[in-house]
Structures are given as structure tokens and as C-alpha cells.
Structure 1
Amino acid sequence: MGSIHVGNLGEFLREQRRSARLSLRQLADAAGVSNPYLSQIERGLRKPSAEILQQLAKALRISAETLYVQAGILDERRGDGADGMAVHTAILTDPAISERQKQVLLQIYDSFRKENARDDAGGGAEEGQTEGDAPLPGGGRGEGDARPASDRRRSP
């Protein structure tokens, strides 16, 4: 995760607000935040959540991803491809999970993508096999035992 660059974000927001010819109060009203809070964000004193950034982006008619990158929440190179960016956006804009949970989910997702990229570069599974089909240690293929657990315990 990148660290937040609140100063850069604030300057960027101020430039975008001025380009849109909005006063601080007009943008605050449109984004549903208080005038003093928006002023603090612009001056680099406050760190807005992903939800607030999304509201500001909507009010400024710019992409939320642009603000996430400016805030250091997303790296420009992350989310290689539309699918990766869509996942990041979905996580960051989900109001049902906390900011900490969002950061953890993004870290896990990114680590899986990096691991899969390494596997793809290194050959990974044999041709025609998916990861679930790959042989397991001991010769099994991962299909599991279809018998109920209670029956498996009684097996000789």
C-alpha cells in the first residue's frame, strides 16, 4: 500500500475545483461534506476516506480512481487491466466494510495477483491443467473423498 500524500491530494483537489469553477462551499455541498473539512483536505491536514474521495470525484466529474491514485490508495501501475482496477474500485467503494478491511483486502488481492503472475511467468501448472487439477503431494489430484466425513473416519 502506498502511503497517503495528503498534500499532493489537496493541491490536486484545489486545482480540479478551480478548473470546474466551483467555490469551496459549492464543492463541499455537492460532495456532502462540510466546508471546513474540505478546506482541511485541500490544505493537506486531513486524510479523506475512499468514500469521501468517491463523493468528491462525482461532484468534480472526474474518476474516483484518479483521486485514489493522488491519495496514494492506488498505484498507477496497480490493477493492470480493467479487471484489476474494477476489483480495486469495488473494494474501495464498498460502504459495508471498514477502511482497515479495505486495505487488507487490497493487500491480499495484490499478493495473489503477483503470485499468479510469477506462476504464469515460471510455467505454473502443466498445460491443460488448472491449479485445482494439479497433482497433490502423495499422488492425489485434489478431488477429495466424496464420502461423508463420518464414513471416512471409520475406514480401515
Structure 2
Amino acid sequence: MDIGAREEFGKYIKKLREDARFSLREAEQLLGISNSYLYQIERGERNPPKIEVLKRMATAYKVSLVALLIAAQIQEPADQDLFFNDDELERAFEYVKNDKTYQFGTHMNGQTLTPEAKRFIVEVYERFTGLKLRGGKKGQTDDTKPTE
């Protein structure tokens, strides 16, 4: 990425952070990166962060991951399990719903959750349990229901 594109991306990230009303320190804690690294990104001194950080930015700043990937000029991410299909999402979400320990928050007064909400819940579940419900890697589980 050239310097002009880095600066443009940095301005975009800074605007998102400010619109979300986060200080550098608050964003540092949410994103799991140092505030100096975030500051360098916002000033266009560093290339866009890895996809995992972009995913956390999307969640914290309430923007789509696709918008961040486009801004970061990432057309085809190397992390193929970043986007998973509808069937895989539904299977992973059902797994979370059936886990009595973590099922709180998976229902919304009888309303259907959006795919984005389900994706977020699955990602949080994966982070807390260490299980990989998507993509067949890292502590992979099958379609069996979790034990109580």
C-alpha cells in the first residue's frame, strides 16, 4: 500500500474511532493493540492491521468488516474462514444455542437475529471457549451438541 493510501486509510480509521467516541486508550483496550500502534495507523505511518484486528475494529466501531477490508485494499483475504457461508453460520449458531453455559443472549424476544448478530455471537463464543466452529481448524468440533 502506498503512502497516500495509508494516509487515507488512517484518516478513515481515526474518523471511525472519533465517531464512536473512543479515546486512543479506550480503543487500545477494545482492539487489543497498543495506542502507539493505533496512532501510527491513524497517521498513515503503518500499513493497515491484520484481518483479526480489522474484525475487532468493525465490531467496536460498528461498521461492516467489508467496508474496512475495502478501505484497507484487501480484496481477497488470505484467511478463508473469515467469511463463512449461511449453512456454516447456522450450524455454528445452533451449536452455541445448545451450549447451556453460553446460550444467554442468543434469543431476542422471539425475533430472528440477523446474520451479522449471529456471526458476532459465534465469534465471541469461539474466543471465550477456544473452539473453532468454522473452517475446520484449531480445536475443531463437529456437529455434536455441547455437553452440559
- For this structure pair, what is the TM-score category when the shorter chain's length is used for normalisation? 0.3 to 0.5
Greater radius of gyration (CA):
1
TM-score (norm 2): 0.48
Q: What's the TM-score once normalised by structure 1's chain length?
A: 0.46
Pick the structure with more helix per residue: 1
